[in-house]
Amino acid sequence: MEANGEWSPHTAAEETWRIFRIMAEFVEGIEVMSQVGPAISIFGSARTKPDDRNYQLAVDCARLVVERKLAVITGGGPGIMEAANRGAKDAGGTSVGLNIALPHEQDPNPYQNIALDFHYFFVRKVMFLKYAVGMICLPGGFGTMDEFFESMTLLQTGKAPPMGVALVGTDFWNPLIDWVRETMLARYANISPEDLDLFIVTDEPAAAVEHVVGFYEQHGARPATPDAVEEFRREPQRRLTGEGTLFGVSPRISTR
């Protein structure tokens, strides 16, 4: 937009080229991540220090994941991300960092043996979920909440294959889950009771890893094949997504 408020063709051209930058990030991400194999995404604060209890919990979670022969994916930065990459690398496993360019807080940690750099948050978040078979969340800020609730939306609506999700740190997570249960569910009925079964809350890394890895080992990947979609539609209690549309069916716009 020009200073006088008129649209600039140059700006429009820049917007067109931005599409190719987005495409390039998707292509590079898919090429690399498709070779990683089954992985667990671990989220948490970039501000957590190495002497914090949650840092060690993340190290332990990642180590246990690697011991179960799965890779670990993090956001590649400091704090909980560093701890998880550290635990995975020290255990001799695949330690993936999906780094994001930020003005502050995002310095790539040295414990990644596979590293990707992203400009766009939304492309990065696709990689977190597309190539994960489970998810572990430790205490964090807005970014962690964004990743957790977006994942819940995708699982609730059937847009992501079912997977185990574990929230580690009862002191941090229980007040939020109490609000979800008492306000979002009981008071406003904005979710269904079974939506609270999409995750567990625990203080134990072993319990968290057993939940997410055990779910994968029991169920494996469940892609949205035509048969799976049809089976999903036949279940009356799960027929509608959280947005009120049929699973796999685009919302209809009334012409009346």
Which has the higher per-residue pLDDT, 9 or 79? 79
Residue 142: partners with Cβ closer than 8 Å, 6 or more residues away: none
Mean pLDDT of 95-107: 82
Total residues belonging to the chain: 256
CB atoms within 10 A of CB 36: 17
Cα gap 119→29, rounded to integer Å = 12
Which has the higher per-residue pLDDT, 237 or 46? 46
Helix (H) or strand (E) holding 95: strand 95-100
Specify the pLDDT at position 56.
Answer: 98
| pLDDT over threshold 80, residue 4 | no
Residue ranges per structural domain of the chain = 31-238
- Lowest-confidence pick of 79-93, 95-109, 221-235: 221-235
Q: Which of the 8 DSSP states describes residue 107?
A: P
Span 31-238 CATH architecture: 3-Layer(aba) Sandwich (3.40)
Q: pTM for this structure?
A: 0.82
Cα gap 88→242, rounded to integer Å = 35
Specify the pLDDT at position 233.
Answer: 43
Cα gap 250→182, rounded to integer Å = 31
Mean pLDDT of 67-90: 97
Residues 152-185: tens digit of each pLDDT: 999 999 999 999 999 999 999 999 999 999 999 9
Specify the pLDDT at position 111.
Answer: 98
